[in-house]
Chain A
Amino acid sequence: MTAIASSSIKKDKAFRSFLPYLYLLPAFVVLGIITFYPLIFQVIISFSDFSTKDLMLQLRSPKLNWIGFQNYIDIITGGLPVQNFNFVRVLSYNFWWAITNVILHVPAGVLIANLMNIKGIWFKRIYRAIYVLPVVIPPIVIGTVWRNIYDEQYGAFNRLLTDISLLFGGNPIHTRWLLDINPPIPWLLPTGGLPNAYYAMMIANFWLGWPFMVLVATGALQSIPKELYEAAAIDGASKSKQFWNITVPLLQPAMIPAAVYGFTLSFNLFNFVYFLSGGGPNRMTELLVTFAYDLVRNLRLYGAAGAFAVIIFVVALVIFLITNKVTKATESYI
């Protein structure tokens, strides 16, 4: 298209350089009002002690105190009037949570997609329809139901484990999945081990996460030319060799963006975490988003919440710049 532009007359050229901005105008007017203005507002109130008393008059409120970087310092050093909050721990947990989820979901998705891609399996369509179900259930329902599944007394999970344990002559299981604060593997992370709730949520989120990866991998598998496998078979490559040398490399262009997408989904998995563990026990499974919600909804520390939103923004920007290097999403098509 640039070639054409250069060959056309000058007036047209001037118009064309102006045109993209015209196409962008509606989106940026809307985003300016409902996204960028709120972001700037958050930055402004993050330097104040904005709270319920200031809601009526907002920035004109006489009671509003400008406290400089105090909110940021409080968040990072744990000076907020909030129990059990340690910023570094929440941040590192948030990354750990998102990464470990993706590491489990992507290979599971690829393997199951390959399984479903074997020619001549019975009931393939039924399986495919069933496997997509976790994606379509509202997160509130998923969170609440899994919370109940993990209940120490009534929960389905302990009952299932008890049934299995009794079968082998063991004892009834009464694990406190969501409430126990003692980490089963204390040396797991430099900030200390993670409670049972983390493993419980990993299991529940595994249930939720792999079906999407299967969808993506299935689409990508079907675009791999069959001739490649036939040629490899003629050359005497075994099935596992074909998998590692044909399937895996050719799935990569589809799976990397999907993994990045899955990472950001898990990173900000608000509904699921909020309803399953509520960030507990003792905020040990708190994500940045669930804590931000807590600051606004329950603690009503709007100034601190503003500072926290700015911090989330910076973290998001860093993640975006890194993942953009991988997926090249902003790269020009032309």
Chain B
Amino acid sequence: MRSSEKGNFLVRFLNKDTANSSNTSEQLPLWRQLVIQLLCLVIVAEVMFPIMYIVTLSLSSKSNRPSALELFPKEISFVAFQQVLDRPTANPITFVELLRNSFLVSISVGLVSLLIAVSAAYAFSRFKFKLRTVLMVLVFIPLLMPAVGLSTPLFLLMNSLQVKVCTSGITAFYPFVKCDPINTGRVLFNLRDSLIGVGIAMVSTALPFAVWNLKGYLDTIPKELEEAAYIDGADANQTFFQIVLPLALPQLAVTFFIGFIGHWQEFVLPWLFLTQPKDYTLAMTLYNMTGQYANSIPWNRFAAMAIIVALPVALVFVALQKQIVNGLTSGGVKG
């Protein structure tokens, strides 16, 4: 008995899988298809259980704690979304400003670490030199060292760079020029208490990851291309800029997005560093909503905010799923 999927346009469309499009017209018997469908649906239920919980909460008009197991929304109200967009926190900061701060930090962290990492990755991938293994271990260690472990010294380091207007009227640039010890003056700018400072601190974990990730990909680019270029008279710099970089472009994009995703959700460093509400990010706002006690969480707004924070990441990930996974694993896979 054959299933009738051939005639069904929708089913055929959904099955169209570019990676498996060999022309063998082998078809599953219907009973096996049904068993597999059942299994797939069980897995879907497992995956969707917490997700439907969040979606249902976000569409509720009540902010109190859910007291029953509701996985399908009884009412569809966008009150929570509206409240979150109008007034995301108790602080005087608009949703657009939060969004801007989040984008600024995560995009610049992704870009800066990428630019610095690519040349280092090239060196590790293509050159043999004395300190190679030692330096690689040095770059890899921060990957295993959580950002929390470095937060105190980073805090103190950034905090020592300040611009102050002294009471005597002079502008002082700490730590180079200082006010009198007695007249401390007014702080104009504190690197620690700024988005730039937080971004720099985040690079400390983003950069080693980018080096590692790009090195793995560069290893998979056939070196014959560069040898050919060398024979044609190109020097190492020319091969790097004109051959390796263009070939690595897709992976550069993926590395950027992985950096972007990771730091879009980061809240520990911003939370430790930033004090002014105008610098807050979306992830911090989300953290702000989760109080000590479950009863104090405005559940519907929390869920709505969660969906808003997750959405950009989800879209990027679903779109670049294959490339991101290849990028993450190519580091260890060698032919």
Contacts and interface: CB of A to CB of B under 8 A. Distances in A.
Contact of A141 (B28, B123, B236, B286): B286
Contact of A312 (B149, B272, B317): B149
B150 A35 contact: yes
Contacts of A136: 261, 310, 313-314, 317-318
Interface string A14-58: 001101110110111011011111110110010000000001001
Nearest to A19: B236
B242 interface: no
B275 interface: no
B1 interface: no
B218 to A, nearest CB: 8
Contacts of A268: 144, 146
A126 B26 CA distance: 21
Interface string A314-334: 001101100010011110111
A3 B49 CA distance: 58
B182 interface: no
A30 B318 contact: no
B143 A264 contact: yes
A326 B313 CA distance: 31
Given A118-B36, A268-B144, A138 B309 contact: yes
Contact of A140 (B135, B207, B290): B290
Interface in B62-90: 65-69
Contacts of A38: 150, 152-154, 157, 204
A24 B135 contact: yes
B98 interface: no
Interface residues of A, number: 114
Nearest to A44: B153
B20 A256 contact: no
B154 A132 contact: no
Contacts of B117: 27
A76 interface: no
Contacts of B200: 34
A124 interface: yes
B141 A313 contact: yes
Residue in B43, B151, B201, B310 with the greatest tally of chain A CB atoms within 10 Å: B43
B226 A1 contact: yes
B333 interface: yes
B65 A154 contact: yes
Interface in A284-332: 289, 292-293, 296-297, 302, 305-306, 308-309, 312-313, 316-317, 319-320, 324, 327-330, 332
A105 to B, nearest CB: 14
A77 B281 CA distance: 40
B154 A34 contact: yes
Contact of A329 (B119, B226, B332): B332
Residue in A45, A212, A334 with the greatest tally of chain B CB atoms within 10 Å: A334
Given A26-B120, A138-B265, A329-B332, A121 B37 contact: yes
Contact of A302 (B149, B152, B302, B318): B152
Interface stretch (B124-132, B164-172, B245-253): B124-132
Interface string B199-241: 0110110011001100010110001001100110000100010
Contacts of B144: 264, 267-268, 316-317, 319-320
B326 interface: yes
Given A141-B286, A215-B321, A253-B333, A27 B211 contact: yes
B138 to A, nearest CB: 8
Contacts of B122: 23
A19 B156 CA distance: 35
Contacts of B5: 120, 122
Interface in B1-36: 5, 11, 14-17, 19-20, 22, 24, 26-28, 33, 36
A200 B222 CA distance: 47
Nearest to A288: B146
A312 B15 contact: no
B333 A4 contact: no
Interface of A: 1-2, 4, 16-17, 19-21, 23-24, 26-28, 30-31, 33-39, 41-42, 45, 55, 58, 112, 115-127, 129-142, 144-149, 151, 154, 156, 159-160, 163, 207, 211-212, 215-216, 218-220, 222, 226, 253-254, 256-258, 260-261, 264, 267-268, 270-271, 275, 289, 292-293, 296-297, 302, 305-306, 308-309, 312-313, 316-317, 319-320, 324, 327-330, 332-334
Given A148-B66, A207-B46, 7 more contacts: A1-B126, A24-B135, A36-B138, A38-B157, A132-B321, A154-B65, A293-B268
29 contacts: A20-B123, A23-B120, A24-B123, A26-B119, A31-B208, A38-B150, A39-B153, A42-B152, A112-B43, A131-B47, A133-B314, A136-B313, A137-B51, A140-B267, A140-B306, A141-B286, A149-B53, A211-B47, A212-B325, A260-B332, A289-B148, A292-B146, A302-B152, A305-B152, A313-B145, A316-B145, A317-B141, A320-B144, A328-B334
Interface of B: 5, 11, 14-17, 19-20, 22, 24, 26-28, 33, 36-37, 39-40, 43-44, 46-51, 53-54, 65-69, 116-117, 119-120, 122-129, 132-133, 135-146, 148-154, 156-157, 200-201, 203-204, 207-208, 211-212, 216, 218-219, 223, 226-227, 230-231, 236, 240, 261, 265, 267-268, 272, 283, 286-287, 290, 294, 297, 302, 306, 309-310, 313-314, 317-318, 321-322, 324-326, 328-329, 331-334
